[in-house]
Amino acid sequence: MILRAARFEPRSLRGELTLPGDKSISHRALILAAASAEPTSIRHLNPGRDVRATAEALAAIGVEIFRDGDDCIVRGGSLHDSIAEIDAMNSGSTVRMMLGLCAGAGLRARFIGDASLSRRPMEPVAAHLRALGARILTTEGKLPISIDGATEERSAHLILVQPSAQIKSALLFSALFSGRALKISADRATRDHTERLLHAMGAGITWNGHEIDLFRPTVRGGSEIEIPGDFSAASFFVVGATLAPGSALTIRDVNLNPTRTGLLDVLDAMGARIDRRNLRERSGEPLGDLFVQHAPLHATSVDAQSALRAIDELPLIAIAAAFANGRSTISGVRDLRGKESDRLAAIHRLLAAVGIVAEDLPNGITIEGGAPVASGVPVETHDDHRIQMAAAMLGCAAGPVEVDSIDAVDVSFPDFFARLERASV
Task: Tell me how many helices (H) and strands (E) the chain has.
Answer: 13, 22
- Of the candidates 305, 306, 240, the one whose C-alpha atom is nearest the C-alpha of residue 274 is 240
Residues of the chain with pLDDT under 70: 1-3, 335-341
3 state SS of 75:
strand
For the chain, first and last CA: distance in Å?
Answer: 33
3 state SS of 155:
coil
| pLDDT tens digits along 227-278 | 999 999 999 999 999 999 999 999 999 999 999 999 999 999 999 999 999 9
Phi, psi dihedral angles at 57 (to 5 degrees): -65, -40
- d(C-alpha 249, C-alpha 13), whole Å: 6
Strand locations in 322-398 (E): 327-331, 358-361, 364-368
- d(C-alpha 213, C-alpha 211), whole Å: 7
3 state SS of 180:
coil
Residue 301 burial (CB < 10 Å; 0-12/13-18/19+)?
middle
Stretch (H or E) spanning 170 = helix 165-178
3 state SS of 164:
coil
Phi, psi dihedral angles at 263 (to 5 degrees): -60, -45
**Is there a contact between 21 and 44 (Cβ–Cβ < 8 Å)?**
yes
Q: In what order do the strands lie in the sheet with 157-159?
A: 157-159, 182-185, 212-216, 204-207
- d(C-alpha 121, C-alpha 375), whole Å: 35
pLDDT of res. 367: 95
Stretch (H or E) spanning 73 = strand 71-75
Q: Which residues pair with 191 in a beta bridge?
A: none
- d(C-alpha 363, C-alpha 320), whole Å: 19
Q: Domains in the chain, please, with CATH?
A: 6-20+228-422 (3.65.10.10), 23-213 (3.65.10.10)
Q: In what order do the strands lie in the sheet with 135-139?
A: 86-87, 109-112, 142-148, 135-139
Residues present in the chain in total: 425
- Strands 157-159, 182-185: pairing is parallel
Question: Phi/psi class of residue 283: alpha, beta or left (left: φ > 0; alpha: ψ in -120 to 50)?
Answer: left
Catalytically active residues, by annotation: 312
pLDDT of res. 2: 46
**Is there a contact between 194 and 26 (Cβ–Cβ < 8 Å)?**
no
Residue type (1 letter), 392 = A
**Is there a contact between 340 and 385 (Cβ–Cβ < 8 Å)?**
yes
| DSSP for 225-287, written as a single string | EEPPBPHHHHHHHHHHHHHSTT-EEEEEEEE--TTTTHHHHHHHHTT-EEEEEEEEEETTEEE
